[in-house]
Amino acid sequence: MDYSFSQEQLAYKEKVIAFAKEAFPESYLEADLNSVFSKEAWMKCAEFGLQGLAIPKEYGGTGDEIDLITACLAMEGLGYACRDNGLAFGINAQLWTVEYPIVLFGTEEQKKKYLPRMAAGEWMGCHALSEPDAGSDVYSMKTTATKVDGGYLLNGHKHYITFGPVGDVILVFATTDPNKGAWGITAFMVEKGMKGFTQGENRPKMGLRTVPFGDLFFEDCFVPEENRLGPEGAGWSITNSSLEHDRCTILAGQLGTMQYQLEETVAYVRKRKQYGQAIGKFQSVSNRVADMKLRLELSKLLLYKVAWMKNKGETSMMESALLKLYMSESFIESSLDAIRNHGAPGYISEFEVERNLRDAVGGVIYAGTSDIQRNIISKLLGL
Amino acid sequence: MIEELSRYITEDLINDPDFGTLETDEDLLGSGLLDSLGMMRLVGFIENNYGIKVPTEDLTMENFMSVETIEKYVNSKK
Ligand SMILES: Cc1cc2nc3c(=O)[nH]c(=O)nc-3n(C[C@H](O)[C@H](O)[C@H](O)COP(=O)(O)OP(=O)(O)OC[C@H]3O[C@@H](n4cnc5c(N)ncnc54)[C@H](O)[C@@H]3O)c2cc1C
């Protein structure tokens, strides 16, 4: 295996780091406290080209071709240099769960309509799968799409949707034929303002607070036929492919954050003195730093392996599940270790150390909970 | 191929000693016999054993509903 990256890929990551250091503030205390989303930051990223990483050039995309490794390295760079973990999380969600399905399944008209606007930051995209009765068991969804003249009528309720309150274009999954189970699921592009479509308010949450998050309601919402993504019944396949990419790159941002977190913790324990010496000299403290480093390096290896496999078009079910499980749990553990090593400043909001822990917890829930990843691993082992 | 696919699905994917025989026209995913992971493992098996690449767009009910439709699909790709 050779995970070495090209000069261009590595140079792009460095460019992202330089951009993010310059473009974003050092403190997100207020934004986190008040759950404020910054459209300005979103637009800066779009101008730089981050939202175009999953889009071919002819539709406003960034690179000559879509390259998962470049996207991963870019997100890692953003996670490292921008203290708002929500930004990398949100961009990534749009890249792989909205843009990429349109690239794979969209008609020429759909690609022309949605992709350039999302690349430019003008439109924000959401991916709406989860429902009150369909979480991990997502294909038991109840939202229906009934065929009518010229299109479909959507009825149902989606919840916990990233960017739900502010999204301009929503990739919604609904069943066109409940008798067909997962084969009956169809994808639709619903646009803000369509009759019968309502976006709920932001729902306050534990972490990733700069990302608006909420409910979507469909009441006899008419969606024209040309807004169906792929053929009827392609919803399962669309979800499958986009979630696989999402699982891989969504964690790349966290990898960058974990790198920053380690560097910041090392600097702190070298500087802070107790009993006449730097606390980093106490083995209890340095052991935690060593564990943080180990988690970071193992996460990196797993992430790069999955990105490398996927870039070669290989399936990586086992590796992706190991990565998602290990890295999301590691970010929680390392965030706790960072807090322990800082003492009270780690616990108090104003020092902005504790926020990582709150941001990390979502990672063991979204894109398949840790339990679901363990199920996948054990099933693949033949259990 | 039908036999080979049926054996893999029954022994490796369903993996339930109480399961009877798999009908060749039985809906694999829609009936819940296989979950998403099972279907993706089946796709991996097909790619490895029959030397074809299955693009995401081909993962439709027409192609992957049952052992019978899969056989037709694989033959059409060879
Ligand atoms: C930050 C964040 C962003 C999100 N963004 C989106 C989005 O943009 N679009 C979207 O559609 N959804 C989104 N979600 C929703 C997310 O996909 C679901 O929360 C997730 O699928 C889990 O579903 P649930 O919350 O209903 O939990 P449940 O499925 O009810 O699970 C509850 C508990 O039961 C366990 N459990 C369930 N089934 C099994 C099983 N078979 N084996 C073992 N344990 C099991 C779970 O692991 C968990 O511990 C987001 C969630 C979060 C936290």
Write out pLDDT tens, residues A210-238: 999 999 999 999 999 999 999 999 999 99
Ligand 1: centre distance to CA A52 (Å):
28
Reference A124, options A64, A199, A226; nearest CA is A199
Q: Which domain holds residue B50?
A: 29-78
Q: What pLDDT score was predicted for residue A34?
A: 96
Q: Of B15, B44, B60, which is closest to A237 when you measure between CB atoms?
A: B60
Ligand 1: centre distance to CA A241 (Å):
18
| Integer Cα distance of B14 and B64 in angstroms | 16
Cβ proximity of A41 and A87 under 8 Å: yes
Q: What pLDDT score was predicted for residue A313?
A: 81
The CATH homologous superfamily for domain A251-380 is Butyryl-CoA Dehydrogenase, subunit A, domain 3 (1.20.140.10)
Q: What pLDDT score was predicted for residue B19?
A: 86
Which are the contacts of B20, defined by CB distance < 8 A and separation ≥ 6?
none
Cβ proximity of A62 and A52 under 8 Å: yes
Please indicate if any CB of chain B lies within 8 Å of the CB of A271: no
A134 lines ligand 1 (CB under 6 A): no
Q: Of B29, B37, B57, which is closest to A376 when you measure between CB atoms?
A: B37
For A381, name the nearest residue in chain B, comparing CA atoms only.
B12
pLDDT digits (tens, 9 = 90+) for A48-61: 999 999 999 999 99
Residue B52 maps to a domain: yes
Residue B4 maps to a domain: no
Residue B36 maps to a domain: yes
Give the other-Cβ count within 10 Å of A6's Cβ. 11
The half-sphere exposure of B54 on its side-chain side, counting CA atoms within 13 A, is: 25
Contact B60 A240 (CB under 8 A): no
Residue B66 maps to a domain: yes
Give the CATH number of domain A126-233; options: 3.10.20.30, 3.30.300.30, 2.40.110.10, 3.30.2320.80.
2.40.110.10
Q: What pLDDT score was predicted for residue A244?
A: 75
Residue B37 maps to a domain: yes
pTM of the model: 0.95
Q: A7-124, what's its fold?
A: Butyryl-Coa Dehydrogenase, subunit A; domain 1 (1.10.540)
For A316, name the nearest residue in chain B, comparing CA atoms only.
B44
A160 lines ligand 1 (CB under 6 A): yes
Q: What pLDDT score was predicted for residue A250?
A: 79
In chain A, domain spans: 7-124, 126-233, 251-380
Angle at which helix A317-342 crosses helix A370-380, to 10 degrees, equals 140
pLDDT, tens digit only, all 78 positions of chain B: 889 999 999 999 998 888 888 999 999 998 889 999 999 999 999 999 999 989 888 899 999 999 999 999 999 988
Ligand 1: centre distance to CA A369 (Å):
6
What is the distance in angstroms between the Cα of B29 and the nearest Cα belonging to chain A? 7
A320 lines ligand 1 (CB under 6 A): no
Q: Which residues of B are less than 8 Å from A231 in CB distance? A: 60
Q: What pLDDT score was predicted for residue A64?
A: 86
Residue B34 maps to a domain: yes
A315 lines ligand 1 (CB under 6 A): no
Flag residues of chain A having pLDDT under 70.
1
Residue B78 maps to a domain: yes
Structure tokens of B7? 């054996």
| C-alpha dihedral sign at B62, B64, B69, B72 | positive
Q: What pLDDT score was predicted for residue A48?
A: 98
Closest atom of ligand 1 relative to the A369 alpha carbon: 47
> What's the structural domain count of chain B?
1
Q: Which residues of A are less than 8 Å from B40 in CB distance? A: 240, 315, 317
Q: What pLDDT score was predicted for residue A63?
A: 87
Ligand 1: centre distance to CA B52 (Å):
34
Burial (CB < 10 A; 0-12, 13-18, 19+), residue A359, is buried
